[in-house]
Amino acid sequence: MRALKIAPDATVTEMDLPEANARAAIRELLGSPDTVDQGIYHHRAVLHIHGNGRQLGLPENLAAWALASAWRGTALYSLAGPVALTGRTMAGELTSLDSDLVRHARAVAQTVRETLTEWRRRPPVSNEAAISELLAYATRDISASK
């Protein structure tokens, strides 16, 4: 099953998960043996999020946040730690991730990396401005990669 891992440093790695035991593979991939939360931010995708990432102090995952927020059209709560991204059938079952959604994730992650580099030279004036800027870029990336 085609899936992606989005790391907190905004790198995206393509994965091939076993069909029969995908959920166990996702728990191992995220380093979360007990709890993996699932977020449906796009009707054809599932974000698998470390269940205790924020409580454990895992680093914020801006690329996964920007992708999910752009898909939803609003700024969401922060996501922490690595995130796995799989496809989703109309019946809600896990499946391979479609190519257009892979393009969305890769484009948004690239933009996040570039934006963070720019912010080191020119920091945003406020946290709210940073959120707005990043969400606008991610929304643009998704529209452009359709």
**pLDDT tens profile 6-51:** 999 999 999 999 988 899 999 999 998 888 999 999 999 999 999 8
Residue 33: its pLDDT value, please? 81
- How far is the C-alpha of 88 from the C-alpha of 66, rounded, in Å? 20
- How far is the C-alpha of 60 from the C-alpha of 83, rounded, in Å? 11
Cα–Cα nearest to 141, from 76, 79, 67 = 67
Give the residue-averaged pLDDT of 61-72.
97
Q: Is the pLDDT of residue 146 over 70?
A: no
For the chain, what is the mean pLDDT?
94
Q: Is the pLDDT of residue 63 over 90?
A: yes
Residue 76: its pLDDT value, please? 94
Whose tokens are 């484009």? That residue is 107
Cα–Cα nearest to 86, from 139, 35, 27, 138 = 27
Q: Is the pLDDT of residue 73 over 90?
A: yes
Contact 62, 11 (CB under 8 A): no
Confidence of residue 144 (pLDDT cuts 50, 70, 90): confident
Give the residue-averaged pLDDT of 45-74.
95
- How far is the C-alpha of 51 from the C-alpha of 31, rounded, in Å? 10
Q: What does residue 83 show for φ and ψ, rounded to 5 degrees?
A: -130, 135
- Residues of the chain with pLDDT > 70, as a percent, come to 99
